[in-house]
Amino acid sequence: MLTSPVTKLTFEEYLTYDDGSGFHYELVDGKLELMNPPTIEHFLIAKLLEQLFDAEIKRLSLPWLTFKETGTRTGKNKSRLTDLCVVTQEQARELINASAVFESPPLLIVEVVSPDSIKRDYRYKRSEYAAVEVPEYWIVDPLEGKISVLLLEEGFYEETVFTADQKIVSRMFPELAIAVTEVFNAGNL
């Protein structure tokens, strides 16, 4: 992960920042952090989960939407890019003609771990998402073959780890029935 040459940005400056490179950045304490492009495995896992979430949202007629690679404001001059997030239609409506950086917490965030994101996904994002009260956070880790579902309880995450053929249990999608191996198999061609 490289750091951009820009010295400091406010959150408002970040929302309109474009260096013309096409690269994606997170804003961490006013500094831009370049996000490496994901692997195909990463994209395929995220795509499967997005399709599953969209199917459940449609089946249950929920006023929710699933988005890939949107931002979530996690501090004064801090914004993280999510692999997937589920938000209300009202949250999306507020940003219809603005940068897709949610300032209110998504209902659910999913991060797919890659070798360069281990500490970021398990440590920094975990504490930042809890601080802004994201109710449910999934850490999908193909490196370790596990999916951690974190549910916000009194300001802290309670973690349940699922592996192998265990079915993932979600508060937001209680009827979703998919095993960890099915999720990781999606990453194979």
Domain count along the chain: 1
Report pLDDT for 6: 61
Per the listing, tokens 């771990």 go with 113
Where does residue 98 rank: exposed (0-12), middle (13-18), buried (19+ CB within 10 A)? exposed
Q: Domain range for residue 79? A: 38-185
Q: Examine residue 80 and state whether it is found in any structural domain, yes or no.
A: yes
* Residue 20 counted as domain residue: no
How many other CB atoms are found less than 10 A from the CB of residue 149?
Answer: 22
Let me know if residue 3 belongs to a domain.
no
For residue 37, name the pLDDT band (cuts at 50, 70, 90): confident
pLDDT digits (tens, 9 = 90+) for 52-96: 999 999 999 999 999 999 999 999 999 999 999 999 999 999 999
- Contacts by 162-166 with C-beta closer than 8 Å and gap 24+? none
Residue 32 falls inside a structural domain: no
Q: For residue 130, is it within any domain? A: yes
Cα angle at 151 between 61 and 37, to 5 degrees? 80
Give per-residue pLDDT as tens, 42-59.
999 999 999 999 999 999
- Which pairing describes strands 101-102 and 108-112: parallel, antiparallel, or unpaired? unpaired
Predicted confidence (pLDDT) per residue in 103-123, tens digit: 999 999 999 999 999 999 999
Q: In whole numbers, what is the pLDDT of the chain averaged over residues?
A: 94
> Is residue 31 situated within a structural domain?
no
24 located within any domain: no
CATH number of the domain encompassing residue 76: 3.90.1570.10
